[in-house]
Structure 1
Amino acid sequence: MAFVPAPGYQPTYNPTLPYNKPIPGGLSIGMSVYIQGVASDHMKRFFVNFVVGQGPGSDIAFHFNPRFDGWDKVVFNSQQNGQWGSEERKKSMPFRKGSPFELVFMVLAEHYKVVVVNGNPFYEFGHRLPLQMVTHLQVDGDLELQSINFIGGQPPPNQVPMAIPAYPVSTPWRGPVSPENMEGPPTFNPPVPFIGRLQGGLTARRTIIIKGYVPPTAKSFIINFKVSSTRDTALHINPRMTENAVVRNSHLNGSWGSEERKISYNPFGPGQFFDLSVRCGMDRFKVYANGQHLFDYSHRFSDFQRVDMVEIQGDVTLSYVQI
């Protein structure tokens, strides 16, 4: 069965360079563009362009350009009719050669906000071209891409829009709710241990998205889907890097059940990013990692609607959680 992403969530894994693809549904207020990659050991520069069209000579609404050139900096600009505009610079380099990075662009009404560069707000670039004109994203340079995700905004036809609040998420979400997938707002870079509440409980076809990074020295971490009133654990996911295993189990009425370990591949390697999607079905959980089916887990706790808490702890760094 192919992975069907949740509304407003458009992942591309291991894209090749140069990357030059349409933005699903076009650019709109509330959209986030989430990029994971690794800076080259010999990195001199790379760029991310928000472009009007795909062909050569297209206008560039926003040009994001880190440069290692002895005066390490990040350059911001736009290009119209073949001419660059006035250059904005920040003499700060959030990227390290040979190191993984995460980069989030939020599209707001007045500017692009480089929301997160490895966990820190970085820059705001005012709109010089109407954002509704932007149709494509370009990425190229001295880097390796691991994933590009388009989150929120106006999705393609036949998909339900999913609104996203401004970073950081700090107040209860009162906006529209997707009828069948993710119901809460995304949280960027939550601390570990993490506890998230599933408002209304775990319903069929609801999907939880967890993005993170496994530190090189990590030994183990856990993801639990629990009933807060009884502390029962309907699904316990336990990647164990020391055993090269992903253990699944349930803890019901004070006792652990039988472990499940069979898996076709293990996405939780030391020093690796992962993108986990846990979808609740009527008779099982279906779990995907990095766009590929990872495992199914039949419900042992039949009243799964009572599951109202997601708990994450251990040797993991979280970058994005949507419940």
Structure 2
Amino acid sequence: MAYVPAPGYQSAFNPPIPYTTMIAGGLRPCMGVFIQATLPHDYKRFSVNFTTLEGDDSDIAFHVSARYDGRDRCVFNSRQSGQWQEEEIKKDMPFKAGKVFTMMFEITRNNYLLAANGERFYEYGHRIPLEQVRWLSVSGDIIVQHLAIIGAGTGTKGVSNIDGHCTLPFKGFINGGMIPKRSVVVKGIATGKNFVINLKAAFSNEIAFHLNPRFNKGTLVRNSFINGTWGQEDKQIAKNPLKQGDNFEISIRATEKKFEVFINGSHSFDFDYRMFNLAQVDTLEVDGEVKVFYAFF
């Protein structure tokens, strides 16, 4: 079963480097870009560029360059009409060899906000008008495991706490409910023994879909809570792709008869509906021993 990203959500797993992609609809305030990556064995530098056109000769609105040469530092700049502008330098390197790291770019009207590993790292003011920025590229000595553009296109979607990470317990309102063809996406890292993701009806507190990875028991529990009673637990799964301490992306897509669940871009299981008024399923909850980078719906 093919992975179908939520409208407005562009996701790529293990893309080849260099990697270039168009930003659907162009870059706008309230959008975000998430990168999860590691460094290869032989590394010297890598870069992330927000550009106006595709190709090496494009203007670069925001250039992020991580440089490892004994004076490890991050360099920020812009290039216009072939000319590099004044560099901004931060003598700090949060992107370490041997560790998975994350970069989260939040786009505002005034600047780019960069969070590294869930912590605010740098602010860079716009030097090229935001409406001209339509491409994203990653190059150099980097292994990208996951790249996501959040809030692309023209649709209206909910994007929650894309600057750094979400405060738990997290609760988000799904406008119009989990009607067919709608998806929610949760990106995070499992930090402890278990966590929960619930799709529920706020007015009744009923849970249409309850997802509970229990790492201490090696199970991935699915269930529902309707009319004050928990239903039959579903634990069967061919292979559990979730591991304690690992980053994950969980995408839950509503169809006519079931929720389809994709983990890290691959179909993992389905959950047949036990509550059928999907328009009432209007709340996403996340809690437990987990760090959530963002939730998109």
TM-score range, shorter chain: 0.7 to 0.9
* 1:321 equivalent in structure 2: 295
**1:103 pairs with 2:103:** yes
8 Å Cα contact 2:186/2:251 also seen in 1: yes
- Could you tell me the TM-score, scaled by structure 1's length? 0.79
CA distance in 2, matches of 1:309, 1:58: 42
Q: Distance in 1 between matches of 2:268 and 2:180?
A: 19
Mapped partners of 1:42, 1:110: distance in 2: 36
Conserved in 1, the CA contact under 8 Å of 2:150 and 2:296? no
Range moving further from structure 2, 309-318 or 47-56: 47-56
What is the rounded CA distance, in whole Å, between the counterparts of 1:229 and 1:54 in structure 2?
Answer: 48
Would you tell me which structure has more strand in proportion to its own residues?
A: 2
CA positional deviation for 1:81: 4.8
Per the alignment, residue 76 of structure 1 pairs with 76
- CA shift digits 1:271-298 (9 cap, x unpaired): 3221112123332222222222222111
What is the distance in 2 between the residues matched to 1:258 and 1:293?
22
Unaligned runs of 5+ in 1: 156-160, 163-177
Corresponding residue for residue 172 of structure 1: none
Q: 1:279 to 1:51 in 2, by over 3 A?
A: same
CA contact (8 A) 2:78 2:84 kept: yes
- Decide which of 230, 234, 245 is 2:219's aligned counterpart: 245
Whether 1:94 and 2:94 are equivalent positions in the alignment is yes
Helix, strand or coil: the match of 1:92?
coil
Percent identity, aligned pairs only, is 42
Give yes or no for the alignment of 1:31 onto 2:31.
yes
Q: Rate the CA distance shift 1:254–1:40 in 2: closer, same or farther, 3 A.
A: same
C-alpha distance in 1 between matches for 2:205 and 2:132: 50
> Aligned pairs, how many?
295
Q: 1:97 to 1:204 in 2, by over 3 A?
A: same
Runs of 4+ in 1 over 6 A off after TM superposition: none
Segments of 5+ residues of structure 2 without an aligned counterpart are none
Alignment of 1:47-196 (within 5 A): 47-111=47-111, 113-153=112-152, 155=153, 161-162=154-155, 178=156, 182=157, 184-188=158-162, 189-196=165-172
Q: 1:28 to 1:229 in 2, by over 3 A?
A: closer
Offset from partner CA, 1:29-81 (integer Å, 9 cap, x none): 44322212124566543211123433344433321012233333211112345
**Which amino acid letter does the alignment assign opposite residue 79 of structure 1?**
R
- Provide the TM-score with structure 2 as the length reference: 0.85
User: Using a 3 Å threshold, how does the CA distance of structure 1 residues 78 and 197 change in structure 2: closer, same or farther?
Assistant: closer
Paired with 1:115 and 1:191, the residues of 2 have a C-alpha distance of 18
Q: Aligned partners of 1:87, 1:287: CA distance in 2, in Å?
A: 44
**Alpha-carbon RMSD:** 2.7
Match of 1:257 in 2: 231
Cα drift, residue 8 of structure 1: 1.6
Partner in structure 2 of residue 168 of structure 1: none
Alignment partner, residue 8 of structure 1: 8
The one-letter amino acid paired with 1:85 is Q
**Separation of aligned partners in 2, 1:69 and 1:206:** 46
